[in-house]
Amino acid sequence: MIDRIISLINNKSSKIQKNSQMNSIAKYRYDKLCEMIMNWDKFDSTADGSTADETAFYKLLNLFIDDAKRYAVVKPLLDECYIGNLENQKKECENLLDALLKAETPEGMPTEDFLSILKSYFESGKEFSVLLKGVVNSQMRALLRE
């Protein structure tokens, strides 16, 4: 009987210790995601343009690249359920960026389909950005529930 009680106490102690470890891991992940949010703008590329339109163009051009850097930092902190959609969207953006680079002549002149690829790249980059922000938010909420 005493052996049974000791076994139950050991099991309960083991569960408490495991929960404590899980809580410290969740806290670490949450803290790192908060740190990322606080430093979000530090991943932004410079968008120097001589006009507001040029600056906006460069911000859109670099949006995916900046968010890909952010994603590389937060990916290890995310649950697996959040990564699939981000990876698919990232791959789409990468393919469009590659197509965009190929849509220039060796002299640096745009080909016929350059503008349509550029538009698709901008739209896909914005989708990746929105998805990344949503995933970080959802992950933080999930960690708070743990």
* Mean pLDDT by groups of 10 residues along the chain of 146 residues: 54 53 82 92 85 88 95 96 96 96 87 94 97 95 85
Q: Quick one: which of 96, 91, 83 has its CA closest to 138?
A: 83
Q: Which residues pair with 110 in a beta bridge?
A: 104
The sign of the dihedral angle between the CA atoms of 124, 130, 134, 136 is: positive
Q: What is the pLDDT of residue 13?
A: 47
> According to the 3-state scheme, what is the secondary structure of 17-69?
HHHHHHHHHHHHHHHHHHHHHHCHHHHCCCCCCCCHHHHHHHHHHHHHHHHHH
Give the C-alpha separation, 59 to 55, whole Å. 6
Q: What is the pLDDT of residue 125?
A: 97
Q: What is the pLDDT of residue 49?
A: 78
The residues near 48 (Cβ < 8 Å, ≥ 6 apart) are 55, 58
Give the C-alpha separation, 137 to 146, whole Å. 15
Q: What is the pLDDT of residue 56?
A: 87
Q: What is the pLDDT of residue 53?
A: 87
Q: What is the pLDDT of residue 46?
A: 84
